A and B are shown apart, each in its own frame.
Chain A
Amino acid sequence: MMTSADVLVRRSPVAGRRAVVRWAWRLFRRDWRQQATVLGLMSLAVAAAVGFATTAYNAAPVSGKAEFGTANHSLRADAPDPDELAATVGSAQQWFGDTDVIGHRSVPVPGAADPLDYRSQQPSGPFGGPLLDLLDGRFPQLRGETAVTDDVALLLDLRIGGTLDLDSTPRTVVGIVENPSDLNDEFALMAPGAMTPESVTILVDAPDERVRGFEPPGAPISAIAARSGVREDVLAAFGVLTIATVGIGFVALVASASFVVLAQRRRRQLGLLGAIGATERQVRLVTVAGGALIGSLAAVIGVIVGISGWLVFIPRMEAAAGHRIDGLTVPWWVVAACALLSVAAATGASWWPARLMARVPPVEALTGRPAAPAPVHR
């Protein structure tokens, strides 16, 4: 039979810690009802942090997405002469290489205050993807075809197969489209070259110096816009995370009081652990491991609840935010930060009670004898 001396020949530095953590886990399972409130509060704080941060991240406009697509500069040229515009576009293609050209013409709508934007755009353009999406039917391909946004269809009582005729050129409606980055953007889409534009927007992805050096021979560039380097969505999520940190910190304070009570209830058991030879660090680990366990569970529950809440909330969010939202567009770095924060806060909250209890001499803990009062210093 193996003797005690045999098993102690090879000592493992983590064996003691593992045994203590195992006991902490058993105690947690045994006393989970007493810790349910703390676990609930922590989970709620993490869920709120994850939910609100994800909402803020998605509600904030994606910097320039509705204006630039995936490009970083937008150049606008206005000219009544289509040849001048064509010269400018051709020159831009030579100067920048890849460009995405969107033609515009304002067409008055009888009975409406605002004109309708007739827009020609290549659906598979290199930069304009985030600006165009097909909801129904197909994109226009011929001169006599168009696709309209749902509000335009509603306003003009159009449906697929109907005819749009605002500029004395009848066009068959072949699809329903939208700008997913700006749901308030209303327009009628034509195939490239299917209409005569009054102005063009040229999307390019080029350095500032290159854009500033562009001098077209035709219609002059009337406006240059550059995409901002600031990411509002990241800023919004970071802001919420900062507020969440304070919130979780407050919850950790409440948790700390709860850990004190729990540690007091386990005083005798912790004293016994010390009596059979556990070091202060090992006794401390029981309470700290319990805190870390609650933090980890709260992180898992909070993330699941927060993300689930977010998924339920998405349909209402899109209308409020004014752009399409992908349910999987979750700022995972914020989620990971909230989870880590939960573990750190609960572990930190349990640290002080753990330290206090580990310093109680085993006999005092076992007998319930109060500690000797500290001497008064005047």
Chain B
Amino acid sequence: MSAAVQLEQVTKSFGTGPTRVEALQAVDLSVEAGELVAIMGPSGSGKSTLLQIAGTLEDATSGSVMIEGRDVGGLSRNDRARLRRRTIGYVFQDFNLLAGLTAAENVSLPLELDGARSRAAHRVAIGLLEELGLDDRSDHYPDQLSGGERQRVAIARAVVGERRLLLADEPTGALDSVTGEGVMRLMRAACRNGVAGIVVTHDAQLASWADRVVFLRDGCMVDESIPAGPESLLTSASE
């Protein structure tokens, strides 16, 4: 079976001449369905760029990106949009919900963009929000929701439509630790349902929710480890 997402020798550079910056250098990464991978590293190490390339939001300068066995390099802009709509869910640090749409409408939007009828898509969105404990907030606009609620709505939007790849760029960065743990728990649950997940984080404790942690420095993958799980961190802290 092919990996949900596979990056081979991916390089990304910005600028030209003396101002050229190598954001990623020959990075290889493969994430299987049901696996949650955390990417850690200092600021400017290329974590977000890696995530954007994996999410087809950004083109790699060289190397190949395969999503579910399909090379995205040759896809048109509209084909990439369709791929994002159907396969990839993106969670941002600052939530990025669409203003003017309610929580349920934000969640149902990707389905509607894909041709689902409004009422049916709305029912699916409500069901998903109920699962995330937001059933009483579905008619609220983003500015009426707390940070944690917004991020849960963002996660619902990212997984709606049977998407198989969940990408999260510091999803807990704007949340307190308890809410952040809740968000990671949701991501973990999504992965248990067969979704492949990549999460960028600075927080080692949150990274411990992942099956694998990849370390980046100056655009290069420098280390990879398998965490013992969040429970082990709690145990070691109490000792």
Contacts and interface: CB of A to CB of B under 8 A. Distances in A.
Interface of A: 1-8, 10-13, 15-16, 18-20, 22-23, 26-27, 29-30, 268-269, 272-282, 361-363, 366
A276 B90 contact: yes
A278 to B, nearest CB: 5
A12 B84 contact: no
Given A2-B120, A18-B118, A280-B81, A27 B100 contact: yes
Given A8-B116, A11-B116, A30-B100, A276 B110 contact: yes
B113 A276 contact: yes
A12 B101 CA distance: 21
Given A19-B109, A275-B96, 7 more contacts: A3-B124, A4-B116, A15-B115, A276-B85, A276-B113, A277-B83, A363-B58
Contact of A11 (B90, B105, B114): B114
B162 A5 contact: yes
Contacts of B115: 8, 11-13, 15-16
B57 A277 contact: no
Contact of A277 (B58, B98, B108, B114): B114
Contact of A280 (B77, B110, B117): B77
A23 B99 CA distance: 9
B161 interface: yes
Contacts of A22: 105
A4 B162 contact: yes
Main secondary structure on A side of the interface with B: helix
Contacts of A273: 98
A21 B206 CA distance: 39
Contact of A30 (B99, B114, B118, B121): B99
A269 B100 CA distance: 10
Given A5-B162, A30-B99, A277 B118 contact: no
Main secondary structure on B side of the interface with A: helix
15 contacts: A2-B120, A4-B111, A7-B120, A11-B114, A15-B117, A19-B112, A268-B96, A272-B98, A275-B90, A276-B90, A276-B109, A277-B114, A278-B81, A281-B78, A361-B58
B123 interface: yes
Interface string B109-140: 11111111110110110010000000000000
B161 A269 contact: no
Contacts of A274: 81
* Of listed A1, A6, A13, A268, residue having the most chain B CB within 10 A: A1
B152 interface: no
A97 to B, nearest CB: 65
A274 B115 CA distance: 16
Contacts, number: 117
A272 B93 CA distance: 13
A363 B88 CA distance: 15
Given A7-B124, A269-B98, A276 B116 contact: no
Nearest to A14: B115
Nearest to B90: A275
Given A4-B124, A15-B112, A269-B98, A276 B117 contact: no
| 3 residue pairs, one from A and one from B, having the closest CB atoms | A277-B85, A11-B115, A26-B100
A273 to B, nearest CB: 7
Contacts of A19: 108-109, 112-113, 118
A23 B57 contact: no
Given A10-B117, A23-B101, A16 B112 contact: yes
A277 B90 CA distance: 10
Contacts of A6: 120, 124
B101 A272 contact: no
Contact of A276 (B99, B124, B157): B157
Nearest to A270: B98
A7 B85 contact: no
* Of listed B82, B85, B113, B157, residue having the most chain A CB within 10 A: B113
B86 interface: yes
A366 B94 CA distance: 11
Contacts of B199: none
Contacts of B127: 1-2
B113 A16 contact: yes
A8 B161 contact: yes
Nearest to A13: B115
Contacts of B112: 15-16, 18-19
B192 to A, nearest CB: 17
B155 interface: no
B52 interface: yes
B82 A277 contact: yes
A362 B98 contact: no
Nearest to B108: A19
Given A1-B127, A275-B84, A366-B96, A26 B101 contact: yes
B160 interface: yes
Interface string B69-107: 000000001100111111010101000101111000100
A275 B58 CA distance: 10
Contacts of A282: 113
Given A275-B84, A276-B157, A16 B114 contact: yes
A4 B161 contact: yes
B124 A279 contact: no
